[in-house]
Amino acid sequence: MSEPTHSSLGLTPEQIAKFQEDGFLVLPDELDSSTVESLLKESRTLLEDFPLDSHPLTKFSTGETAPHVGDDYFLTSGDKIHFFFEEAAFSSSGELLKPKSQAINKIGHALHVLSAPFKNITLTARNRAIAASLAFKDPRVLQSMVICKQPEIGGPCPSHMDSTFLYTDPPSAVGFWYALEDATPNNGGLGFARGSHRRYGVGKRFVRLAEGGTGFQGKDEEGIEGEEFEDLTVKKGGLVLIHGQVLHRSTRNTSMDSRFIYTFHVIEGENKYDEKNWLQPGKEGFSRLNDVA
C-alpha cells in the first residue's frame, strides 16, 4: 500500500460541512494516551522548573498588583515560554496562596517552537492536512498555550472570538484545542454559541496600545451578549477545531479536578497580519505548517 497523502490525512467532506455549519468540530481520540501522558509530563515539568523569584508578579513583595505589572512579560511572550497566574492564586495583600504548580493558569505562547513534545504534535502532517481541508494556502502557527485551569481557583475565559485577538485581513484564525484531561461542564470545560460565526463579523480587536500595554478597540456587534452557550464534554485526547469568529468561552473551575488543555492557532499567511495585533512575529516569522514533511 502506498503512503497516505496529505489530503487523505485531512477532514472528510462531512466534517468540513459540520465545521462550517457549527463553527467548531470535535474530533475524538486525536491523540493516543501515551502522547497525552507525555504532554502532561512536560507541562508538569515546566510548572515545577520555572523560577518563581524572577517572575514579574511575584518579585514585588509589596503585593504590587497594579494592572500594568506584567505587561511587558505578556507582550514579549509570543516567542517564549512564559507563565501566567490564576487571579485567585493571590490573597488581597499579594501573597501566593498555592504552591506554584497549582497557581499557574496558563503557559504560553511558543510551546510549539520551544518544547519538543508540543512541537511534535503541532507541526504534523495531520495538522497540515486539516488546515488544507479548511482551505488554508499558507497556514502559520502562533499563540500556543497550555491552559491548566487549576482545581478550586481555575479562572473563566469569557465569551470571545479568536479573530479579535489574532486578526488578519480578511479574518482567518482557526484554533486547534486538545483536551489533555477530560474537560467537562464540571471543571470549566469549553462552551460554544453554535453557528455564531455566521451571525457576526469581527467587531473589536485586542491590540497593542500606542501608550503601552494592550486593550480593546472597536465594538462588539449588537446582540452578541444574548447568545446561549452549549457546554461540551471533551474526553482527553480529543481535538476541537474552533472557527475564528465563533463565540466560545469556558467557565470557572471550582471543582477538585484540574482541566489541562493545549491549544494553538493557525492563520492564513497570505492575509495581512498587521502591527496592531498583540502578538508580533519574531525574526523567524510564524511557523509554517507547509514546511512539515
Which chain residues interact with Fe ion by CB under 5 A?
Answer: 162
Which of 58/82 has CB closer to ligand AKG? 82
Residue with cell 492557532: 265
Rounded CA separation 235/253 (Å): 17
- Taking CB atoms, the residue at the shortest distance from Fe ion is 162
CB of 54 to ligand AKG, least distance (A): 27
Q: Residue 94 or 152: which CB sits closer to ligand AKG?
A: 152
Phi, psi of 191 (to 5 degrees): -125, 150
Query: Binding partner of residue 159 among Fe ion, ligand AKG, none, CB under 5 to 8 Å per kind?
Result: none
Q: Which does 10 bind (CB under 5 to 8 A by kind): Fe ion, ligand AKG, none?
A: none
- For binding to ligand AKG (CB under 6 A), which residues are involved? 147, 157, 162, 175, 177, 190, 242, 248, 250, 261, 263
Closest contact distance (angstroms) between CB of 33 and Fe ion is: 26
**Contact (Cβ atoms closer than 8 angstroms) between residue 137 and residue 200:** no
Q: Of 249, 271, 243, 110, which Cα lies nearest the Cα of 174? A: 243
**196-216: b (≥16 Cβ within 10 Å) or e:** bbeebebbbbbbbeeeeeeee
78 binds, among ligand AKG, Fe ion, none (CB under 5 to 8 A by kind): none
CB of 175 to Fe ion, least distance (A): 6
CB of 21 to ligand AKG, least distance (A): 19
The values of phi and psi at residue 151, to 5°, are -55, 145
In the chain, the DSSP E strands lie at 24-27, 81-85, 104-109, 139-147, 157-160, 174-179, 190-192, 204-208, 214-218, 230-232, 239-243, 248-250, 261-268, 287-288
Among ligand AKG, Fe ion, none, partner that 140 touches (CB below 5 to 8 angstroms by kind): none
Smallest gap from residue 197 Cβ to ligand AKG (A):
13
Nearest CB to ligand AKG, comparing residues 58 and 161 = 161
Pick 115 or 250: Cβ nearer ligand AKG? 250
CB closer to ligand AKG, 46 vs 261: 261
181 binds, options ligand AKG, Fe ion, none, Cβ within 5 to 8 A by partner type: none
Q: How many CB atoms lie within 10 A of CB 66?
A: 8
The alpha helices in the chain, defined as continuous H runs, are 13-22, 33-49, 71-75, 111-114, 116-122, 125-133
Return the number of the residue (58 or 236) whose C-beta is nearest ligand AKG: 236
User: Distance between terminal CA atoms of the chain?
Assistant: 19
Nearer to Fe ion, 162 or 181 (CB): 162
Q: How far is the CB of 162 from Fe ion (least distance, A)?
A: 4
